[in-house]
Structure 1
Amino acid sequence: MHKDIDRVLIDEDIILKRLDHIAEKIRADFEGKPLVAIVLLKGAMVFTADLLRRLPIHLEIECLNVASYKGTSSTGIVSFLDKKLPDVANKNVLIIDDILDTGRTLEAVAEKLSDNGASMIKTCVLLTKDIPREDFKEANYSGFDIANEFVVGYGLDYNGRYRNLPFIGVLKQSVYQD
Structure 2
Amino acid sequence: MRADIERILIDEEIIEKRLDRMAEEIGRDFPQGNLLAIILLKGALVFAADLLRRVPRQLELECLNVSSYHGGLESSGTVKFLDRSFPEVRGRHVLLLDDILDTGRTLHAVAERLRAEGAQAVHTCVLLAKDRPRDQEVAADYTGFVIGDEFVVGYGLDYRGRYRNLPYVGVLTREAIEREPGA
Q: TM-score, normalised by structure 2?
A: 0.94
Q: Percent identity?
A: 60
Q: Is the Cα–Cα contact under 8 Å of residues 33 and 92 in structure 1 kept in the other structure?
A: no
Please give the alpha-carbon distance, in whole angstroms, between the structure 2 residues aligned to 1:133 and 1:33.
34
SS at match of 1:77: coil
Please give the alpha-carbon distance, in whole angstroms, between the structure 2 residues aligned to 1:78 and 1:135.
12
Residue 81 of structure 1 is matched in structure 2 by 82
Residue 52 of structure 2 is matched in structure 1 by 52
Given residue 79 of structure 2, which amino acid in structure 1 is its aligned partner? V
Residue 7 of structure 1 is matched in structure 2 by 7
Please give the alpha-carbon distance, in whole angstroms, between the structure 1 residues aligned to 2:21 and 2:138.
21
Given residue 15 of structure 1, which amino acid in structure 2 is its aligned partner? I
SS at match of 2:24: helix
Q: Is the Cα–Cα contact under 8 Å of residues 108 and 138 in structure 2 kept in the other structure?
A: no
Given residue 153 of structure 1, which amino acid in structure 2 is its aligned partner? G
Please give the alpha-carbon distance, in whole angstroms, between the structure 2 residues aligned to 1:134 and 1:72.
16
Q: Is the Cα–Cα contact under 8 Å of residues 124 and 140 in structure 1 kept in the other structure?
A: yes
Q: What is the CA-CA distance between 1:25 and the residue it aligns to?
A: 1.0
Please give the alpha-carbon distance, in whole angstroms, between the structure 2 residues aligned to 1:92 and 1:33.
10
Q: What is the CA-CA distance between 1:173 and the residue it aligns to?
A: 1.7
- Size of the aligned set, in residue pairs, is 178
Q: Is the Cα–Cα contact under 8 Å of residues 35 and 94 in structure 1 kept in the other structure?
A: yes
SS at match of 1:40: strand
Given residue 28 of structure 1, which amino acid in structure 2 is its aligned partner? R
Please give the alpha-carbon distance, in whole angstroms, between the structure 2 residues aligned to 1:33 and 1:167.
33
SS at match of 1:23: helix
Structure 1 runs of 4+ with >6 Å offset: none
**Greater fraction strand:** 1
